[in-house]
Amino acid sequence: MRSLNFIGGEKGGVGKSVVARALAQYYIDKGQPFTGFDTDRSHTTFARFYTDYAAPVVVDRYDGLDQIALPFEDAPEEGIGHSVIVDLAAQTAAPLALWIKESDLLGLLGELGVQVNFWHLADAGKDSVDLLGKLLETYGEGPSYVVVKNHGRGTDFSQLEASPELAAAQALGARVISLPALHEASMRKIDRQDASFWAAVNQRSGEDALGMLERQRVKSWLKSVYTTFDGLDRL
């Protein structure tokens, strides 16, 4: 299976990089080949944590964005599908949409049998609901959508759940999932180490190394996330 996964939400602080990192670790642990791209010029969080798999890309230059589609240029080997993860920085929707439209990316990848997934990370605020509506207005029936209720950024998603925007997304076949919260102190330690999730649960030395129970909590969190990802088709 080949897929292109845009991990977005348009606003900052909704957990886009966490999902990109979790999906990267999921692919690694499943033995599924993938390439990652990080569009955040300021922090390049995804590229820092998964340096062997992800690279920065400039979102307002076509020659940069074109790199995202290159992994799909060659026909896949039998039984092997290559996937791409793009960690979208805040406020990248406009240049990305223009590139996708002018390149007819959705049409091209459809011909190549590549599934395009737009992941919309949502916190508990109204902004996430409004931005979901804008995403649907931009792309309509073309791609697939995954709406992520990030419980690390809120617990009351009633505004989203009751919104016409979510109903419209589901009418287009959107999959709605919940991302459990990872213990905040453990996440801070992982971030300070610039560590992948694999390194976080295996590294036992160093100032920010996780303790035994912290490692166990990260393992349990990953297991829950993986179960959720397993339920998504064409990932």
pLDDT, tens digit (0-9, with 9 covering 90-100), for 43-54: 788 999 999 999
Task: Quote the pLDDT of residue 43.
Answer: 76
Position 19 scores a pLDDT of: 97
* SS3 label, residue 9: coil
Nearest-angstrom CA–CA distance, 32 and 25: 10
Q: What does the alpha-carbon distance between residue 90 and residue 69 come to, in Å, rounded to a whole number?
A: 21
> How far from 192 is each of 31, 75, 210, 213, CA to CA, in Å?
27, 39, 11, 18
Are 61 and 72 contacting, i.e. CB atoms less than 8 angstroms apart? no
Cβ-Cβ contacts under 8 Å for 29 (sequence gap 6 or more): 198, 226
Residues 64-86 have pLDDT tens digits of 999 999 999 876 665 567 899 99
Positive or negative, the Cα torsion across 184, 4, 176, 132? positive
Q: Which residues of the chain have pLDDT under 50?
A: none
The percent of residues in the chain predicted with pLDDT above 70, rounded, is 97
Q: Minimal CA–CA distance to 7: which of 77, 68, 71, 76? A: 68
Give the pLDDT score at 77: 61
- HEC sequence for 13-51: CCCHHHHHHHHHHHHHHHCCCEEEEECCCCCCHHHHHCC
Residue 54: count of CB within 10 angstroms of its CB: 24
Domain range 3-181, CATH class: alpha beta
Q: What is the pTM of this model?
A: 0.95
What is the predicted pLDDT for the residue at 75? 65
Give yes or no for a contact between 141 and 112, defined as CB atoms under 8 angstroms apart.
Answer: no
Tell me, rounded to whole angstroms, the distance of Cα 150 from its chain centroid.
12
pLDDT at 234: 83
